[in-house]
Amino acid sequence: MSQISRETRAAVIQLREDGIIQVLVRPDVVQTFEDAVLNFETIESLAAGRDCPVLINIRHCKPLIPEVRHFYTSLKLKGKLTALALLCDLTPLGQMLGNIYFKMSKHGVPTRLYSDENEAVQWLRICH
């Protein structure tokens, strides 16, 4: 499988050779509701009906407006993704609390926060 890349106004989204969909959120863009919908549609398009793990780098993204945050948190991902890893800059305590929150979320797929990309990729490969 070769790498396939798509760009939206708010992100660069790639289907990597290892089957992981990687999303780099652009640091200079405040996402709109339309951006959020297009980002998720692009992820679904790259997955092409396969359940894929997704790695989203949110390290430098702007804060989400409430409408966008609600859209992302209300998504039902089971049957669309196998797992979701979010890359962000966190303290160990923040990472632990975030992971507890995601264990209780209604997304339907395993979701974790990571500060190290290699660790995130390794976990996604186990979940895939």
By residue range, what is the domain housing residue 46?
Answer: 4-127
Residue 73 has a pLDDT of: 75
- For residue 106, the model assigns a pLDDT of 66
Q: Are strands 11-15 and 4-7 parallel, antiparallel or unpaired?
A: antiparallel
Q: What local confidence, expressed as pLDDT, does residue 37 receive?
A: 93
The structure tokens listed for 51 are 């359940």
82-101 pLDDT tens trace? 898 989 887 776 667 666 66
Q: What is the CATH number of the domain that holds 95?
A: 3.30.750.24
Q: What is the pLDDT of residue 101?
A: 63
- Which of these, 12, 121, 6, lies nearest to 60 by C-alpha position? 12
Strand partners, 12: 7, 24
Token readout for 112 is 């974790």
- Ranges in the chain, pLDDT < 50: none
Q: Which of these, 15, 18, 4, lies nearest to 128 by C-alpha position?
A: 18
Beta-ladder partners of 90: none
Among the listed residues 5, 22, 1, the one whose alpha carbon sits nearest the alpha carbon of residue 124: 22
- Report the domain count for the chain: 1
Distance (Å) of CA 113 to CA 37, 42, 124: 22, 22, 12
pLDDT score for 21 = 96
Which pTM was predicted? Answer: 0.86
